[in-house]
Structure 1
Amino acid sequence: MKIKITELKKHLKQFEQKELIDLVLEMFKTNKEVQNFLSSKFLGDEAIEVLFNQARKKIENEFFPDRGHGKLRLAEAKKEISAFKKVTNDEKRKVDLMLFYVEQGVEYTCAYGDISEGFYSSMIKMFDQVAVECDRDEDLYKEFSKRLENVISKAPEGWGFQEALVDSYYAIEWVIDEEDEEY
């Protein structure tokens, strides 16, 4: 059973400042997510950059670890993206991690050949989300445009994978289709 927010507020209002500080410190000591959240809140961009690089490394390790073969636990890699977003609320870096996930997936399938339908579906779904974010924000698109183009050019043909990525890419409002350009 979870306490409701109104009930929590009622209890917290009864605490003295020292008790509130002790409670926050206890949460900080026992919960890594709270540590990351408070670090990003109070230390700002410096802490967020560290968290970003940690998440990026964990994603990379699912595909290409320093030793051995990747475990390809896509759910673990996606969990890193969600956790990063939750503790930092940094939209741009979240999209960067999402795109990095797809880049790693494309690199993996290029290195090891056909994977599974679930693998390709996960890559397509994540790329779709990146495309939606880039469609909403032209600056975000400009920031990631070369990487987006790289993904679709490197993605292997067949099984509809590259085609699905291309469809998502060209759904972005800011993409100029060379065939549509008039000279």
Structure 2
Amino acid sequence: MEKEESAKWTKVEEILQKAEKKELIGLIQELYKHSVGDRMLINSRYLGEGAKQEMNTMLEKYRKIIKEEFLTEKKLAKIHYSVAERAISDYSNASGDFVGTLDLMLTYVEEGVQFARIFGVIGDEFYDSIEGMLDRLCEQLKTKEGQKYYPLFRERLLKAGTGLENIGWGFEDAICILVADIEEFFEERFEEDKNDT
């Protein structure tokens, strides 16, 4: 398979060597629009350290929005799930940063779980929101692009699934099942990779 891929790349490389600059820029622009991974690679390669710092500042700005929605004082008010969820999508759209988006999704789950640990039984909307975000995060981690980032988030995910006893409404079970499922998914991948070598 590697030889076949190498032969294909050699042919593509020959064509690219003869291509006009404008054509190559157009191709890079298509890749930039097409894949978050390609966009991250191009940004990090050509925008440098300043872009990374700007991205980190933006990530922290949106993380703060999420955390503010789950402040313990909110027990007396209403949590605006849409505000926290929009922070995640706004960051993703503005940055194209796949890993940062996963990080914010997990922050949402962590903050919600912590809120539930403090206040116990809250209600359907709350539980559905936290469980739904965790489910979406796990689905993203299972994608080809997401799989390589699981080790970055594993400890935080496992921690999110602990200390939920006596909360009720099946919340503990739902969170633990999702965390166990993603852990099992990656254990199977690890076994497959080990057997392939």
TM-score with structure 1 setting the length: 0.67
Q: Distance in 2 between matches of 1:91 and 1:156?
A: 32
Contact 1:81/1:97 (CA < 8 Å) preserved in 2? yes
Q: 1:153 maps to what in 2?
A: 162
Which structure 2 residue ranges, 5 or more long, are not aligned? 1-43, 189-197
Q: 1:174 maps to what in 2?
A: 186
Deviation at residue 165 of structure 1 after TM alignment: 1.6
Deviation at residue 91 of structure 1 after TM alignment: 0.6
Question: In angstroms, what is the RMSD of aligned CA positions?
Answer: 2.2
Q: Distance in 2 between matches of 1:148 and 1:121?
A: 18
Which structure 1 residue ranges, 5 or more long, are not aligned? 1-39, 177-183
Deviation at residue 74 of structure 1 after TM alignment: 1.1
Question: Sequence identity of aligned pairs in percent?
Answer: 27
Q: Distance in 2 between matches of 1:175 and 1:159?
A: 29
Q: 2:126 maps to what in 1?
A: 119
Q: How does 1:8-157 map to 2 (within 5 A)?
A: 43-64=50-71, 68-69=73-74, 71-136=78-143, 137-157=146-166
Deviations 1:115-145 (A, max 9, x none): 1101000100000011112222333111111
- Divergent runs of 4+, >4 A: 40-43
Contact 1:169/1:175 (CA < 8 Å) preserved in 2? no
Question: Which of residues 173, 176, 194 is equivalent to 1:163?
Answer: 173
Q: Distance in 1 between matches of 2:82 and 2:147?
A: 29
Contact 1:85/1:91 (CA < 8 Å) preserved in 2? yes
Q: Distance in 2 between matches of 1:69 and 1:78?
A: 16
TM-score with structure 2 setting the length: 0.62
Deviations 1:11-50 (A, max 9, x none): xxxxxxxxxxxxxxxxxxxxxxxxxxxxx99652111110
Deviations 1:75-101 (A, max 9, x none): 111110010000001011101100110
